[in-house]
């Protein structure tokens, strides 16, 4: 099924712009720049919205400006306006359970404790697509909140942005509805070190 709405999760404002939790914002910002589009504030959708052409197909992009734990309301409003079902929504977010610099596609599933996904589940249910950008884990559960709201090291940021660049190469396939091809393309490039070892 083609993707008609791509949502980047993050927190608004300069305080959070460069933090790990804003990996979703990084992705859609990079995507809209590459397609020659621009975001505009839309108060009725509680976020910044852009409409772009991906391989000749129109696709909406959204950055909710409600802070992470209230992201679902903004997504529900825009999706409802355009009559986009959850299965045609791709949500891009930071992922503690993936190594830094890894990107993975996933359809449906649980929220894994991610506050943005938790709120999306409340508004949409679990049946939307996700693009997970690995940020690694601090190793101690009690340190997670501080960790995601910190800026990554220079090396970590470089690895995250490389993962985002690799994931961008799958966007045309996703918007065209070729999920399997997008997964093969991305996952083949997600672990180059393992490929060298084999």
pLDDT of residue 124: 94
Neighbours of 29 (CB within 10 A): 20
Is residue 1 over pLDDT 80?
yes
Give tens-digit pLDDT for 178-190: 999 999 999 887 4
The CA-atom distances, in angstroms, between 196 and each of 13, 189, 192 are: 40, 12, 6
Q: Enter the pTM of the model.
A: 0.93
CA 16/CA 14 separation, integer angstroms:
5
Domain ranges of the chain: 5-197
Q: Which two tokens stand for residue 29?
A: 């910002």
Q: Which two tokens stand for residue 162?
A: 């490389």
Give tens-digit pLDDT for 115-173: 899 999 999 999 999 999 999 999 998 999 999 999 999 999 999 999 999 999 999 99
Give CATH for domain 5-197. 3.40.50.1470
For residue 192, name the pLDDT band (cuts at 50, 70, 90). Answer: very low
Which three-class secondary structure state does DSSP give residue 99? coil
Catalytic annotation, pick one of 21, 82, 111, 114 = 21
Give tens-digit pLDDT for 16-29: 999 999 999 999 99
Residue 144 neighbours by CB under 8 Å, 6+ apart: 96, 137, 138
8 Å CB contact between 155 and 174? no
Give tens-digit pLDDT for 42-61: 999 999 999 999 989 999 99
114 among known catalytic residues = no
Is residue 197 over pLDDT 90?
no
């Amino acid at each position: 099924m083609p993707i008609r709405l791509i949502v980047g999760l993050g927190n608004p404002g300069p305080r959070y712009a460069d933090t790990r939790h804003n990996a979703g914002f990084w992705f859609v910002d990079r995507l809209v720049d590459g397609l020659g589009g621009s975001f505009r504030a839309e108060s009725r959708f509680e976020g910044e919205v852009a409409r772009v052409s991906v391989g000749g197909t129109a696709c909406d992009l959204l950055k909710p400006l409600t802070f992470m734990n209230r992201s679902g309301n903004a997504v529900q409003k825009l999706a409802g306006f355009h009559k986009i079902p959850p299965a045609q929504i791709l949500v891009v977010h930071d992922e503690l359970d993936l190594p830094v610099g890894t990107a993975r596609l996933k359809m449906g599933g649980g929220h894994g404790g991610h506050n943005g996904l938790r709120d999306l589940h409340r508004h949409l249910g679990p049946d939307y697509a996700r693009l997970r950008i690995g940020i690694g884990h601090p190793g101690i559960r009690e340190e997670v909140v501080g960790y995601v709201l910190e800026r990554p090291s220079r090396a970590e940021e470089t690895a995250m942005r490389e993962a985002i660049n690799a994931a961008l190469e799958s966007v045309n396939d996703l918007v065209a509805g070729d999920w399997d091809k997008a997964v093969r393309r991305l996952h083949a490039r997600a672990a180059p070190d393992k490929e060298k070892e084999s």
